[in-house]
Amino acid sequence: MSLIQRSEEFLERSLEDPEAFGWTVTLKNPFGESQVVFGQVRHINMLIDIDTGADVQQEQASATVRISTITIGEPQKNWLVAITDTAGNEYDCYVVEAFPDRTLGIIVLKLGLLETP
């Protein structure tokens, strides 16, 4: 087995392990199918200093998951994603852009947060 393949297999430990940094990501495709996977999630607020005394805040989120774990297709722009924070609050998002890395076997999903109805 090549080192690349071993690296992909090791994603189970390095990316998805819930005892490490693996975090729940719920994927939902346009056909209504959903799947819960584990990956790494980033959800931060950036404070932008615009040099005028008024700060502007901007929210960013992304999720990185293992491609081979996903069974309902490959995430694209029209997919929905639900993530949670460490306090247990759930946030609905849509995929702004998907960046697959087919060598490493991961896909980075740049997320846009959705307004809570």
Contacts with another protein by CB under 8 A lie at: 30, 46, 48-50, 52-54, 56-60, 78, 80, 92-94, 96, 112-115
What length does the chain have? 117
Report d(CA 42, CA 105) in Å as an integer. Answer: 19
Q: How far apart are CB 44 and another protein at their closest, in Å?
A: 12
SS3 77: coil
Q: How far apart are CB 14 and another protein at their closest, in Å?
A: 27
Task: Report the candidate in 78, 51, 46, 80 with the shortest Cα–Cα distance to residue 63.
Answer: 80
Q: Yes or no: say if 112 and 92 are a contact pair by the CB < 8 Å rule.
A: no
Q: How far apart are CB 103 and another protein at their closest, in Å?
A: 26
Cβ proximity to another protein: between 69 and 91 the closer is 91
Cβ proximity to another protein: between 6 and 31 the closer is 31
